[in-house]
Chain A
Amino acid sequence: MSNRVLILFAHPLFEKSRVNKMLVNSYPAGVTFHDLYEHYPDFNIDIEKEKDLLTEHDIIIWQHPIYWYSCPALLKQWIDLVLEAGWAYGPGGIALKGKSVFQVITTGAPEHSYQKEANNRFTIRQFLAPFDQTATLCKMNYLPPFVTHGSHRIHKEQVNEQADAYYFLLEHLTNNDPDLEALKKYNYLNDWVKENQLS
């Protein structure tokens, strides 16, 4: 069993992003990489084309940096335009039913600042609630995110480790039928990779 994986990549200043560059430097065969800011520099999204892409894939990845506790504007535009009523949700909106979606995100701040007591006051999972619910409304499986924290100060070796982990995850998703319920139990998909990468 194999899955077709679609990476919807949204980064308005990709040329200056150290971490994201490394993360998408290589991905396994059979993964489609779709760079939204490169395709729609004028925000004029081709809705039909995007719907076709979604139809052709089983696992969708929203890969983006966290800006102001959410996604960059063009990905929000994409969600607004592409997930149409009667197609993605609502009566007859079953185009995405059963597909899986998760986010691959980078944050400037370290992990410990995303706590109730710390300066960001909420966890990453709490901030991602709108995406979680968007996926759920479209009858998709929302999986935990794959997160790279502290992108401002992270060392090259750590970025490499993250890139390897991401590649491992993509390869696993491409070639296997993942146990979704098991995956949903993790806080971050990074934790699942740590447990499985070594064995």
Chain B
Amino acid sequence: MTSDFLSQALVYLGAAVICVPIAKKVGMSSVLGYLLSGIIIGPFVLGFIGKEGQDIMHVAEFGVVMMLFIIGLELEPAAFWKMRKAIAGFGFSQLFGTSILLSLVFILMGWQWTTAVSGGLTLTMSSTAIVLQTLKEKGLSHTSAGQASFSVLLFQDIAVIPILAILPLLATTAVVADEAHPSLLSGLPAWVQTILVIAAVGSIYGIGTYLVVPMLRVIAKTGLREMFTASSLLLVVAVAFLMEMVGLSPALGTFVAGVVLANSEFRHELESDIDPFKGLLLGLFFMGVGASINFQLIQEAPMQIATLVLLVLFIKFIVLFGIGKIYKLNNDQNFLFALGLSQVGEFAFVLLSFTGQLNIIDEEWIGKLTAITAISMMTTPLLLLMHEKFIHPYFGIKEKPVEKPGDVIDEHHEVIVAGFGHFGSTIGRLLRANGIAATILDNNPDQVELLRRMGFKVYYGDATRIDMLKSAGIESAKILIAAIDSPDINSTLVHTVRKHFPHIKILARARNRFDAHDLMETGVTNVYRETLYTAVQLAVDALGELGFRKHTATRQGQKFIKFDEKALAKLASSRHDLKEYALNSKDEIAIQEKLLQNDLLLSFSDNDHSWDSNFVKEAILGKDPETAPTK
């Protein structure tokens, strides 16, 4: 732990903490915030970090590796299959059209075709981070433009993989093996390398399915959260390391690993474990990019850079707009779609650093293209503002978001059930019998495995974690059913959710009056005591056994439940007066005492006159001693 490292960390973290919130405030995405903070601490403004920009890139590229892992995790093959037409249609035509046009531009500038093609492919990418975030913030995810954007971005994310595999084939010079990463493959001919890429991917699939998932089950059983985090990280690092060993792209490997695990019950848990690391490392990556933007190049050729930025934006816009026309997007939506995706995305940085390593594009142009990418990213908020202010009012028809079930990759239901033991599973079964699918969270791996065999969508994970709840889709869900066995954990869950997601309706299980009080204090009104309904049912049956008519006994039971819930609500407000008692048992007895006192005034059957002919007789004919009721 050198002071050098500490001062570095201080600079990076400080810059991020200052710049990103400011960028968010101004309405830019966090990507831009990181880029700007990178520029500011970089050699051209404050000069806190000079050449190290290059060194941190190695660590920071790991953020991209993790991002691909998460993108892979989110790609559920079944959902992906549903969207295949849109993805192939929109995505393929965009990639193909844009890269051909851009490559032509580079060829006209006098580049070699290999260089031109890799440049074209690189700039074809749009920014998933910026676009998806913007769409989500503006609530446009489900409009046709949103769906089209999503298809294009997804296709691009996937296309990065084959592009990374193809790039070595475009290298004009033999790949110089990196000193730091001795590669087993360097020196082999390019076509062998390509075949090996495919073989490696296949092996990841096999190992992931038959080794990793069972291993995760074992680790999950230990019940230690940090073990799971450690194994998630280990998984990513191991895959990345293996890929580097054979000289392939680590990003490619982790993406495939993500896809393999997307169908396992650990999807949400892995996602929420990796997510913070991903976010930070990606941030670091963007800062590195910002720091390495070569302003000298921009100063030397401002016109050239500016022209190229405009040209790239224009070409991307034209291609996208054309595709939108072919697929019959209306004009307003089409503008949104084409302007929104006109920037160059973060994957361009990855591809650029890769082409740099392969010596496909020389260093000067790598610098220029990096600058172009970063600048184009900054134009998006402005272009969308323009769309909002001028284009949108001009066409003026706001398309209503059409909710298309099954079009959304994330499988989010309206109902989330946390805890699927005896209590929760009964709820889940009744819901399922009525065609209501729920997202189920449980932290007992054996239970999860069983339920998955029975065809339930169950995810393994700790429901009290905010990130876990988010990946289960709590932000778009309507109802949360808190049915965890342990009252303490269940209460923690309810408290967390009330605090962070106040919009959602909570139906909570409580073991007894105490838990019920506790939950009521958070403002939850739907509290269900395990003991109440079963105990009442038993009492009703007991009355039946004693000769009461079943219907009468049942009505008494119903009345008692109503009365008891009222009494509980009343006591909940006066509970703090009882808190002087240190011990729960004392407290419990005090509450019992109060309840029993109230009950003394209670006799349901005395003032129940329904269908009571004696009462009617008395009411109509006056008291008749001969037919006095014998109650």
| Cα of A53 to Cα of B619 in the assembled complex, Å | 23
* Known pairs A44-B558, A44-B559; A90 contacts B610 (CB<8 A): no
B611 at the interface (CB under 8 A from A): yes
Q: Chain B contacts of A84 at CB under 8 A?
A: 609
- Shortest B616–chain A CB gap in Å is 5
B558 cross-chain contacts in A, Cβ below 8 A = 42, 44
Most chain B Cβ neighbours within 10 Å, of A81, A85, A91 = A85
Q: B524 CB to closest chain A CB, in angstroms?
A: 22
In chain A, what residue has the closest Cβ to B608? A47
A121 to chain B, nearest CB (A): 31
On chain B, the residues within 8 Å of A47 by CB distance are 610
CA A86 to CA B616, docked complex, whole Å: 8
In the complex the two chains form, is A91's CB within 8 Å of B559's CB? no
B residues less than 8 Å from A86 (CB atoms) = 619
Which of chain B's residues has its CB closest to A45's CB?
B610
For the complex of A and B, list the 9 residue pairs with the smallest distance between their C-beta atoms, beginning with the closest.
Answer: A85-B619, A86-B619, A44-B558, A90-B620, A85-B616, A81-B610, A90-B619, A85-B620, A42-B558
- The verdict on A157 contacting chain B, using a C-beta distance below 8 Å, is no
Which B residues lie within 8 Å of A52 (CB)?
A: none
Residue A195, interface by CB 8 Å: no
* B44 CB within 8 Å of chain A: no
Q: Is B456 an interface residue (CB 8 A)?
A: no
Residues on A with C-beta less than 8 A from B82 are none
Compute how far the CA of A176 lies from the CA of B622 in the bound complex, rounded to whole angstroms: 41
Complex alpha-carbon distance, A93 and B609, angstroms: 15
| Number of A interface residues in the complex (CB < 8 A) | 11
Residues on B with beta carbons closer than 8 Å to the beta carbon of A44: 555, 558-559, 562
Contacts of A81 on B, CB cut-off 8 Å? 610
Measured between beta carbons, the chain A residues less than 8 angstroms from B619 are 85-86, 90-91, 93
Chain B, residues 614-626, CB within 8 Å of chain A (1/0): the string is 0110011010000
Minimum CB distance partner of A90 in chain B? B620
1-52 of chain A: CB within 8 A of chain B: 42, 44, 47
> What is the interface residue range for chain B against chain A?
10 to 19
Given contacts A42-B558, A44-B558, A44-B559, contact A80 B620 (CB under 8 A): no
**Given A42-B558, A85-B615, are A91 and B620 neighbors across the interface (CB < 8 Å)?**
yes
Measured CB to CB, the closest approach of chain A to B550, in angstroms, equals 14
For B559, the chain A residues whose CB sits under 8 A away are 44
Q: Which residues of B contact A (CB under 8 A)?
A: 555, 558-559, 562, 609-611, 615-616, 619-620, 622
20 CB-based A-B contacts, threshold 8 Å: A42-B558, A44-B555, A44-B558, A44-B559, A44-B562, A47-B610, A80-B610, A80-B611, A84-B609, A85-B609, A85-B615, A85-B616, A85-B620, A86-B619, A90-B619, A90-B620, A91-B619, A91-B620, A91-B622, A93-B619
- Residues in A whose Cβ lies below 8 Å from that of B620: 85, 90-91
B617–chain A nearest beta-carbon distance, Å: 9
CA distance in complex: A86, B623 (Å)? 13
Report chain A residues within 8 Å CB of B616: 85, 90
Which of chain A's residues have a CB closer than 8 A to the CB of B622? 91
From residue B33, how far is it (CB to closest CB) to chain A in Å? Answer: 50
B124: shortest Cβ distance to chain A, in Å?
50
Instruction: List 18 additional A-B contacts (Cβ < 8 Å) besides A85-B619, A86-B619, A91-B620.
Output: A42-B558, A44-B555, A44-B558, A44-B559, A44-B562, A47-B610, A80-B610, A80-B611, A81-B610, A84-B609, A85-B609, A85-B615, A85-B616, A90-B619, A90-B620, A91-B619, A91-B622, A93-B619
CA of A155 to CA of B615, assembled, Å: 49
User: Within the assembled complex, what's the spacing in Å between the Cα atoms of A98 and B611?
Assistant: 25
User: How far apart sit A4 and B402, CA to CA, in the bound complex (Å)?
Assistant: 40
A85 to B613, CA, bound (A): 10
> Closest residue to B615 on the A side, CB-wise?
A85
Identity of the chain B residue whose Cβ is nearest the Cβ of A92 in the assembled complex? B619
Residue of B whose beta carbon sits closest to that of A46: B562
- CB neighbours of A93 from chain B (8 A): 619
A 63-104 to B, binary, CB cutoff 8 A, 1 in contact else 0: 000000000000000001100111000110100000000000
Query: CA–CA, A47 to B558, complex, Å?
Result: 14
Closest to A86 in B: B619
The interface residues of chain B lying within 8 Å CB-to-CB of A42 are 558
Report chain B residues within 8 Å CB of A91. Answer: 619-620, 622
With a cutoff of 8 Å between Cβ atoms, the chain A residues found around residue B609 in the complex are: 84-85
CA distance A86 to B614 in the complex (A): 13
Q: Which residues of B contact A80 (CB under 8 A)?
A: 610-611
Contacts of B615 in A (CB 8 A): 85
Report chain B residues within 8 Å CB of A85.
Answer: 609, 615-616, 619-620
Tell me which residues across on chain A come within 8 A of B562, comparing CB atoms: 44
In the assembled complex, the CB of B537 is this many whole angstroms from the nearest CB of chain A, namely 13
The answer for the CA separation of A85 and B619 in the assembled complex, in Å, is 6
Bound-complex Cα distance A164 to B532 (A)? 48
Tell me how far the C-beta of A94 lies from the nearest C-beta in chain B, rounded to whole angstroms: 13
